[in-house]
Amino acid sequence: MDQDLYSRLRKRMLMFYFAAGINFVMALWVMSVGSGQVSGGTLAVILLMFLGFAAVNFYMARVLRRQWEQHVRQHQQRANPDDEVKQ
């Protein structure tokens, strides 16, 4: 069961990282192509949107990773209750 859960979480984390990369590339592309075509304020808003979505995607991937690590720690503590007493 844990292996299935891990594979699903891993796929989600990778999708978040991929989406963050796409957003970052799009921000770079908009910055390079749009600098001569739109005003500075409009360009800044578009760049901030892409970079904001990239940051949210990275954050969500990190949250999933922390949840998985917490799940593993809880599972290990249940499997080895004597380790808590010794510490």
What rounded mean pLDDT belongs to the chain?
89
Task: Name which of 23, 47, 25 is nearest 35 in CA terms.
Answer: 47
- Report yes or no on 18 lying in a domain: yes
How many distinct structural domains can be found in the chain?
A: 1
- Report yes or no on 60 lying in a domain: yes
pTM for the full predicted model: 0.77
Query: 3 vs 32, which has greater pLDDT?
Result: 32
Which one-letter amino acid corresponds to residue 47?
Answer: L
- Report yes or no on 62 lying in a domain: yes
- Report yes or no on 85 lying in a domain: no
- Report yes or no on 11 lying in a domain: yes
| pLDDT computed for residue 1 by the predictor | 53
- Look at residue 38 and give its three-state secondary structure: coil
- Report yes or no on 41 lying in a domain: yes
Q: What is the pLDDT of residues 33-67, one digit of tens each?
A: 988 888 889 999 999 999 999 999 999 999 999 99
Range of the domain at 58: 2-80
Query: 84 vs 5, which has greater pLDDT?
Result: 5
pLDDT band of 80, cuts 50, 70, 90: confident
